[in-house]
Amino acid sequence: MTEEMPSFDIDEVLSKEPTSISPEEKSYLGSNISQMTSYERTRFGFDTPTTPTSPTASTPTNTTSPTAGEDDLADEDKQKIGKLVSSYTEPLAQANKQLKQENEMLSLFQDNPDAKIYRDKIKEQLALHPTIGVKQALTLAMGDDLLVLGARKEREAQRKANSTLPVGNGYSGSVDKPKDWANMSDEEFMKERNKVLGRIGI
């Protein structure tokens, strides 16, 4: 007679400290990695965190071939002056941009403390995509976690709905099934994605 494996609630297991879970719970999480966020996978030892690499800036090359003459000398002087000015102004502009991004992240984390775990990934996305804002960078940083969080919100809503159902008296009402994120159409996925982002204040 085979011994039955105990059943677990993934949300309950994930709420525990990694050092306090049992070997059975650890094995259970390992079998349900798809329902964990990237942060949770790292926290419980199923993922090795990667160090984001900063994009390297290419050094512009001067393709012009100076020739003799007063006009060419004047152009060369302009280029030298332009490079000198840029060497002073570009670091200042970059510092101002970084300060603005830090302030935006502080404001975002105050409204959404759970987003703090994506700080490094947000910075990585901002470096890879200099024209986007902090909130857009957070959306990119979350990636597949949006699916996991969306499914989790559905389970929470389902549990709340079930707890309010009347007991007895021949109740035969139906309860909506959790949404199947993996098989949604693109339009349905975008609608549900926006709902999730709205719930976490993004």
pLDDT digits (tens, 9 = 90+) for 53-74: 555 555 555 555 555 444 556 7
Residue from 96, 95, 82, 146 nearest 118 by CA: 146
pLDDT of 199 above 70: no
| Among candidate residues 142, 164, 184, the one where a domain is terminated | 142
Instruction: Give the percent of the chain with pLDDT over 90.
Output: 3
Q: Is residue 138 part of a domain?
A: yes
Contact 162, 170 (CB under 8 A): no
Secondary structure (3-state) at 58? coil
Q: Is residue 197 part of a domain?
A: no
Q: When comparing pLDDT for 105 and 181, which is higher?
A: 105
Tokens read off for 12: 């309950």
Number of domains in the chain: 2
* Same domain, yes or no: 43 and 84: no
Q: Residue written as tokens 């003799």?
A: 68
Q: Is residue 67 part of a domain?
A: no
Q: Is residue 187 part of a domain?
A: no
**Contacts made by residues 17-21, CB under 8 angstroms, sequence distance 24+:** 18/43, 18/44, 18/45
Q: Is residue 158 part of a domain?
A: no
Chain segment 2-24, per-residue pLDDT in tens = 555 568 888 888 889 989 999 99
Range of the domain at 25: 10-49
Q: Is residue 3 part of a domain?
A: no
Q: Is residue 175 part of a domain?
A: no
Question: What is the distance between the alpha carbons of residues 171 and 150, in angstroms, rounded to a whole number?
Answer: 29
**Max CA distance (Å), the chain:** 100
Question: What is the distance between the alpha carbons of residues 187 and 120, in angstroms, rounded to a whole number?
Answer: 30
* Same domain, yes or no: 96 and 44: no
Question: What is the distance between the alpha carbons of residues 193 and 197, in angstroms, rounded to a whole number?
Answer: 6
Q: Is residue 202 part of a domain?
A: no
Q: For residue 39, with 0-12 CB atoms within 10 Å meaning exposed, 13-18 middle and 19 or more buried, which class applies?
A: middle
Q: When comparing pLDDT for 87 and 50, which is higher?
A: 87
Chain segment 122-181, per-residue pLDDT in tens = 999 999 998 888 888 888 888 878 778 778 888 888 888 888 766 555 545 555 555 665
Chain segment 109-118, per-residue pLDDT in tens = 888 888 888 8
